[in-house]
Amino acid sequence: MNGVPSLLSAHIQSLLPRDGTREALAQSVIPSILQGVSDIAKALHDAQDVTQAGTANSFGDDQLNVDVISERHVRTALARCPSVRVASSEEDPIERPVEHDASTGSVQAGAEQYTVAFDPLDGSSIIAPNWTVGTIVGIWDNGQTALSQSPASSQIAAILGVYGPRTTAVVAIRIPGTPASCLEVGLGPSGLEDCVIVRPSIRLPSLQSINPKTRYFAPANLRAAAEDERYMALVSHYITSKYTLRYSGGLVPDVVHALVKGHGVYLSPVTEASKAKLRRLYELCPLALVVECAGGRAVDPVDGTDILAREIGNCDERGGLVCGTADEVEFALKGLLG
């Protein structure tokens, strides 16, 4: 992508293999998606009325006008990336070939080819009261599909866009054979033209290596505590142990809060009455990659397996989530699983 700031480009390039095999990822894919995040932020700023769009996605979820706008901006960003061959989203959950801009050129056989799966506006239900929301993007090392692949090795990057008082993005990269990395980028009004690297490295250190003065917990799906005494006991533990509650109802801001503070646990358990809502392809797997690249854990609360340990069979697979500081995740699992 032309005009990528040299500092951002150089930093991303330093996190990738030095053999030049990921040039498009550093110069085109990640910068284009970050520009798309900036474009969504500007569109949300101008969207004073949050209304029903009068349509529903393929899952039957009612769409807001801001969902449709955000979807369009991500699609426009991907159209600038010839190496992104296939994409799907929570608003259009069918993997389709990307229609590229005529000016982007073509990709040679054997060159970098990627599949992108994204949730254009996660947390749209809390956008009307003007709370922070986000965008979730997963980048898969396969130009044909993200399904029936190993998430732990085939999903090689993820981006969380955060729309609050500032516009930021958390970028995680894990190329097989290279160290995992996680950084935070700040995006100004002009997007990439005035972006800054806020944190070149984000880490969730173990509790053995630090002693945080304040510990954080975010209990999603809290109504499940009325149905599961183990979840109720776990929430009571956090309260009596004087953990600080940090929960907005938005998956992206609540998890990013832990990343920025360097500590936290996010819980979204599943019960018979409170079914799983988070989609593995568009929410769980990208978010799990970010958390793991920051040194944390992301697991399924039903059986304790890592989110990235299982292949995704279809676009509507759903699950629960416990993620954050590894020690806290382990403690939460013991409480939930008995």
Q: Are 82 and 101 in contact (CB under 8 A)?
A: no
End-to-end CA distance of the chain: 51
Give the orientation angle of helix 285-293 with respect to helix 251-261, to 10 degrees: 0
Q: Does 48 have pLDDT greater than 80? A: no
Q: Which residue has the higher pLDDT, 213 or 137?
A: 137
- Tokens 């029936």 identify what position? 148
Q: Does 3 have pLDDT greater than 60? A: no
Q: Give the mean pLDDT of 258-267.
A: 96
Domains in the chain (CATH in brackets) are 6-199 (3.30.540.10), 216-337 (3.40.190.80)
Q: Which residue has the higher pLDDT, 106 or 294?
A: 294
Q: Does 1 have pLDDT greater than 50? A: no
Q: Does 50 have pLDDT greater than 50? A: yes
Handedness of CA 184, 186, 187, 193 (dihedral sign): negative
DSSP 61: P
Q: CB neighbours (10 Å) of residue 264?
A: 27
One-letter identity of residue 177: G
Residues in the chain: 338
The CA distance from 326 to 36, in Å, is: 32
pLDDT digits over 176-203, tens only?
Answer: 889 999 999 999 888 888 899 999 999 9
Handedness of CA 106, 109, 115, 116 (dihedral sign): negative
What is the pTM assigned to this prediction? 0.94
The CA distance from 70 to 92, in Å, is: 12
Which pLDDT score is estimated for 56? 58
Paired sense of beta strands 181-188 and 191-199, if any: antiparallel
Contacts of 213 (CB under 8 A, 6+ apart): none
Paired sense of beta strands 191-199 and 155-163, if any: unpaired
Q: Give the mean pLDDT of 116-130.
A: 92
Which pLDDT score is estimated for 110? 64
